[in-house]
Amino acid sequence: MGSPTTHGTIGKSGVGVACVPGAGVAGLKGYVGKSVESFCPFGFGRIGNDGENHCAHFVSHALNIHVGTLCTGLLPWKVGVNDQKFRRSASGNRAAGMFATDEGRLSDFKGATVRVNDLYNSIDPEEKGDWNKRLDLAADCLMFVTTPKNVSEDRVTMGGSKLKHVGIHTGGLIYNYGNRKDAVVDDLVEVFIKKFQHEYGSSSIFLWAKIPDTKGFCVHAG
């Protein structure tokens, strides 16, 4: 995952906090049972009443992905002005010390991707497609599900329908954010498929995509 990047509020406490990359595939078990309030250091998302689908948000924090709409770009969040647990703006994040320092220069932390279609559409066409047509059935990858009308026939482009979901496939399990339970779950592939055929319909389209190379990004704070 690379070395942690030091960050902190220059000129205040002088104490840096380690910038810790997401756990990656090897550390996914550590997320099981945790809510969005646990894995998003920027405060985007609340248990029970935020009205957002956090599946791509979880995947992107775990794998350090930042393309398209980011959690930091959606602040201020829908909380009261006196709720100190949640950052209210990107500038508020900076004031709280959430920026990297590189030879004295400031660089805001990069937020994690929050839209399933942004994530899918960012991946090269030859590195994604129908789930049952992937060449290496055991390989780690992303697993998507949506409705037929929300994906192009060539499987290159996904639309913005609310009926879409993503998880991380490894070892026969799909790690994904259960929005109803507000917690990360680890479903067997067969369970994941049955669950979304029930929720989205029997004609649901299941897709795979290669996990992007994101070694240079840091979307997690220690």
Of 35, 53, 37, nearest to 145 by C-alpha is 53
Q: What angle do CA 91, 76, 57 make, to 5 degrees?
A: 100
pLDDT (tens digit per residue) in 33-68: 999 988 887 778 888 766 788 999 999 999 989 889
Q: Residue 40's pLDDT is what?
A: 85
Torsion 32-219-164-167 (CA) sign = negative
The least confident of 31-45, 132-146, 153-167, 188-202 is 31-45
Q: Residue 121's pLDDT is what?
A: 98
Cβ–Cβ < 8 Å for 27, 39: no
Q: Residue 45's pLDDT is what?
A: 85
Buried b (16+ CB within 10 A) or exposed e, 184-219: bbbbebeebbebbeeebeeebbbbbbebbebeebbb
Cβ–Cβ < 8 Å for 87, 42: yes
Question: If pLDDT is split at 50, 70 and 90, which confidence band does 222 have?
Answer: very low
**φ and ψ at residue 121, rounded to 5 degrees:** -70, -20
Mean pLDDT of the chain: 80
Question: If pLDDT is split at 50, 70 and 90, which confidence band does 177 have?
Answer: very high
Percentage, residues of the chain above pLDDT 90: 51
Q: Residue 24's pLDDT is what?
A: 80
* Model confidence at 10: pLDDT above 60: no
pTM for the complete prediction? Answer: 0.81
DSSP state of 133: G
Question: If pLDDT is split at 50, 70 and 90, which confidence band does 97 have?
Answer: low
* Model confidence at 157: pLDDT above 70: yes
